[in-house]
């Protein structure tokens, strides 16, 4: 993936824990890491053994399930080769290759299948960065407002209401914006992990949070509508009393 270095550092900082190579996280480095490949590409396994008469290989996925077993590699001048077609690794994750020969000389290899793009354009990388910066700014601002703005009406020393604080409705609106921005950031997290960072197994985390958050939108909207309706009715009643010179509790 070709991406501006500074933008790559920023994206890596945003995703934090996802800056660990998935191959290392899954123990692939000890098995001879071959690289990262897209879902729809074939992967060629090669092994040099001039004195071997055959090498058979077994392919396992991330959960150690056998994809195929004991398949012979083709021999060409002392080099064995096997072309693993894309249909054998349609699922995302790390795949492990185990091979053995007539010389009882086992070897291991592994590779990662993702749906990342081989090349990310400068414009696309810039868009990711700008969207993330703006989203974080709006999220932090709305979260700050949700915390610091007053929710109750001002009262005097006797605990009686002396004015109506209409800013409470802006506070509720900021809470809704905070929730929506969190949802949007989770959506960006899914996009970045799947399309900009070769750590697609972490996209499942963002997808899970995004799905849960999306499912809670309607209950939250209904709750906020009921809350605002109750507050508006109550404040309108209090405002009538205040205009009459009364100080209700």
Query: Can you tell me the distance from the alpha carbon of 47 to that of 107, in angstroms, rounded to the nearest whole number?
Result: 8
pTM of the model: 0.48
Q: Using an 8 Å Cβ cutoff, are 77 and 85 in contact?
A: no
C-alpha dihedral, 241 to 242 to 245 to 249, nearest 10°: 80
Could you tell me the strand order of the sheet in which 107-114 lies? 33-38, 107-114, 93-101, 55-60, 66-72
Residue 68's pLDDT is 92
Three-state DSSP at 77 gives: coil
Residue 116's pLDDT is 59
Structure tokens at 9: 């550092």
Residue 124's pLDDT is 67
Q: Using an 8 Å Cβ cutoff, are 168 and 152 in contact?
A: yes
* Residues 98, 100, 104: CA angle, nearest 5 degrees: 140
Structure tokens at 211: 């799905």
Structure tokens at 220: 């939250």
Query: Can you tell me the distance from the alpha carbon of 95 to that of 105, in angstroms, rounded to the nearest whole number?
Result: 21
What burial letters (b/e) apply to 16-53, b meaning 16+ CB within 10 Å? Answer: eebeeebbeebebeebebbebbeeeeebebebebeebe
* Residues 149, 180, 198: CA angle, nearest 5 degrees: 130
Residue 248's pLDDT is 65
- Residue of 180, 177, 186, 174 whose CA lies nearest to 132: 186
Can you give 19-38 as a three-state secondary structure string?
A: HCCHHHHCCCHHHCEEEEEE
Structure tokens at 94: 């790390």
Three-state DSSP at 222 gives: helix
pLDDT by residue for the chain (249 residues), tens digit each? 444 444 444 444 444 333 334 444 445 655 577 777 877 888 888 888 888 888 899 999 878 888 999 899 998 877 889 999 888 888 877 889 988 888 877 888 888 887 655 445 566 667 777 888 888 899 999 999 888 888 777 777 777 777 777 888 888 888 888 888 888 888 887 777 666 544 555 666 777 787 788 888 888 888 888 888 888 888 888 888 777 766 666
């Amino acid at each position: 993936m070709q991406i501006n270095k500074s933008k790559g550092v920023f994206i890596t900082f945003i995703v934090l824990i996802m800056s660990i190579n998935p191959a290392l996280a899954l123990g692939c480095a000890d098995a001879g890491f071959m690289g990262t490949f897209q879902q729809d590409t074939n992967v060629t396994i090669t092994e040099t053994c001039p004195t071997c008469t055959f090498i058979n290989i077994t392919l396992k996925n991330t959960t150690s399930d056998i994809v195929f077993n004991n398949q012979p590699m083709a021999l060409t001048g002392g080099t064995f080769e096997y072309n693993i077609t894309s249909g054998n690794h349609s699922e995302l994750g790390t795949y492990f290759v185990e091979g053995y020969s007539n010389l009882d000389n086992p070897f291991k290899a592994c590779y990662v299948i993702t749906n990342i793009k081989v090349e990310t354009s400068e414009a696309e990388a810039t868009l990711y960065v700008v969207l993330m910066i703006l989203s974080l700014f709006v999220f932090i601002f709305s979260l700050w407002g949700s915390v610091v703005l007053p929710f109750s009406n001002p009262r005097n020393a006797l605990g009686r209401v002396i004015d109506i604080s209409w800013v409470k409705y802006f506070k509720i609106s900021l809470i809704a914006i905070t929730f929506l921005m969190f949802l949007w950031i989770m959506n960006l997290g899914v996009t970045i992990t799947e399309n900009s960072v070769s750590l697609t197994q972490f996209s499942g985390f963002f997808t899970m949070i995004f799905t849960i958050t999306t499912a809670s939108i309607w209950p939250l909207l209904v709750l906020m509508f009921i809350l605002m309706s109750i507050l508006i009715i109550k404040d309108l009643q209090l405002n009538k009393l205040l205009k009459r010179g009364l100080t209700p509790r």
